[in-house]
Structure 1
Amino acid sequence: MNEKESPLPASAPRPIRSAANLAVVALALAGLAWAVRAVWHIRLAMAGEPASGPPDQGNGVHRPLNALENSYHLVSSAGGAVTAVCALVFLLWLDRARDNARVLSGKEPRYQYFWLFLAWIVPVVNLWIPRGMVADVHGSVFPERRLPAVVNWWWGLWLAGLAGGVGLFYADSTDDVIARAYNGVWPLLAADLVIVAAAATAALMVRTLTAAQQERIDEVARTGS
């Protein structure tokens, strides 16, 4: 086979297991952070709204927070920070997996590099391009195999977590979420449960796709192709 016919670029696949392990750990921590947030939602609901009313009194007036409400602000901020770090680590894994898929298949990724970051935040396209990038990692290397079901489970849970402004990205302020917990905690708990499930499913997806890609990397190394 001459150079023009070779399906593989000259570069070699990059190590993927360490990036995958970091992503799994980050996803586990993110899931734990949201589980802790759910516990605080339950604590707020059980405590009940103070006689002084919600933290946001309206017209720009905010009453002093009590100890439980203050602690929820800390839990919420910590959870947001952990989620941000998790997102970065996940993208680092996806970037490496995409690069390896290009090397192993000899095909350019279906989506340009800038979509690795923009696809998650641009309205409308964020409903399918992120899943498409993940599916392309597997499909370009294993066109003969079906896409693992865990990818669709992860994506369905991710979209559910985005729905309604009570999941991954609250439409309201933290004080407004506290008021929700006082007056109707079940939608918050449902969103928390979906996000924890999405994090767990994402971790399983990372392990599944990484194992398949590592299998092909080892095969290429053995044959020297």
Structure 2
Amino acid sequence: MNDQKVQPSNSPSFQASARCAVAALALTGVAWLARAAWETRLAVAGQPASGPPDQGGGEHRKLTSLEDGYHIVNTLGSATAVLCALVFLSWLWRARDNARALSGERPRYSAIWVYLGWILPLANLWVPRGLVVDIHRASAPGRRLPRSVNWWWGLWLIGLAGGVGLMYTDDTDEIIARAYTDVWMLLAADAAIVGAAVAAVFVVRAVTAVQLERLTGAGRA
């Protein structure tokens, strides 16, 4: 990961990367809406008389058709989230390179943090936002940071604490049990993730716009 010499991405390529990121974020938002809708259906149907899917002691009862459906929705949602992460990070990497080329200054965060910042405990509470803030300031010095950046990060942290974090410790059957007993907690987390995805679309568009403005101007000079 060499930070010595960086060339900005050409405009068409960078625009394509931004469009892919926006599409992936929108798809993730739709996936989480579907997840929330299915959790609502589970809550309305109510827990079967036989109890939760995980009966304890390593025993699991046969799933209902609605529970089977949630497994599919949850799997598709997880796959969508992975795809979105890859596409978003690809755009973020290009945006960081553009920011450095436009400003001529070394970024506050080294390249490894584009990836490590999302997974390192504690650092993942502020580094990703810091990367975007650093990119915007280098790309558009003197301009006010878009409000969408704070909305995106605030909503993401809420979803991380209330819903996404659960996905790493609870299996799907345990989440189904939560839908029967504490569905509002899950729905609140889902709403935060959908909101974060929408706000992230505006973040990508805002950062891309200021960089293309300067890249296009530099190309004409």
TM over 0.5: yes
Encode CA deviations 1:116-169: one digit per residue, 9 max, x unaligned. 1111011111111100111111111222112111111111111111113x2365
- Structure 2: distance between partners of 1:143 and 1:163: 33
Are the counterparts in 1 of residues 95 and 135 from structure 2 also a CA contact under 8 Å?
yes
Q: How many residues align?
A: 214
Change in CA separation of 1:168 and 1:81 when aligned onto 2, cut-off 3 Å:
farther
After superposition, where does 1:124-139 map in structure 2 within 5 Å? Answer: 124-139=122-137
> Where does residue 68 of structure 1 map in the other structure?
66
Within the candidate set 89, 103, 106, 1:105 is matched to 103
2:7 to 8, 11, 17: 11
- Partner of 1:23 in structure 2? 21
Q: CA deviation at 1:23?
A: 0.2
| 1:168/1:195 contact within 8 Å kept | no
Partner amino acid, structure 1, of 2:94: R
Q: Which range moves more in the overlay, 178-187 or 11-20?
A: 11-20
Aligned to 1:50: 48
Root-mean-square deviation over aligned CA pairs: 1.3
Q: Which runs of no fewer than 5 residues in structure 1 stay unpaired?
A: 1-8
Match of 1:3 in 2: none
Q: Give the letter aligned to residue 71 of structure 2.
A: H
1:183 Cα offset (Å): 1.2
- Which residue of 1 is the match for residue 164 of structure 2? 167
Q: Which residue of 2 aligns with 1:83?
A: 81
Quick one: distance in 2 between partners of 1:210 and 1:11?
16
CA contact (8 A) 2:7 2:97 kept: no
C-alpha separation between the residues in 2 aligned to 1:95 and 1:38? Answer: 31
Structure 1 position 123 matched with structure 2 position 121: yes
Query: How does 1:137-176 map onto structure 2 within 5 Å?
Result: 137-164=135-162, 166-167=163-164, 169-170=166-167, 171-176=169-174
* Whole-angstrom CA distance in 1 between matches of 2:6 and 2:55: 64
Q: Secondary structure at the match of 1:167?
A: helix
Q: CA separation in 2, counterparts of 1:202 and 1:10? A: 25
Shift >6 Å, 4+ stretches: none
Q: CA deviation at 1:178?
A: 0.4
Alignment identity in percent? 56
Question: Are 1:205 and 2:186 counterparts?
Answer: no
The runs of 5 or more residues in structure 2 that have no matched partner are none
Amino acid at match of 1:14: N
10 and 116 in structure 1: CA distance in 2 versus 1, 3 angstrom threshold: closer
C-alpha distance 10-185 of structure 1, shift in aligned 2 (>3 A): closer
CA contact (8 A) 1:17 1:210 kept: yes
Query: Secondary structure of the equivalent of 1:119?
Result: helix
Query: Offset at 1:11?
Result: 3.5
Residue by residue over 1:83-105, the C-alpha shift from the partner in whole angstroms, topping out at 9 and shown as x without a partner, is 00000000000000011111111
- What is the CA distance between 1:10 and its match in structure 2? 8.0
Offset from partner CA, 1:53-107 (integer Å, 9 cap, x none): 0000011111111111111000000000000000000000000001111111111
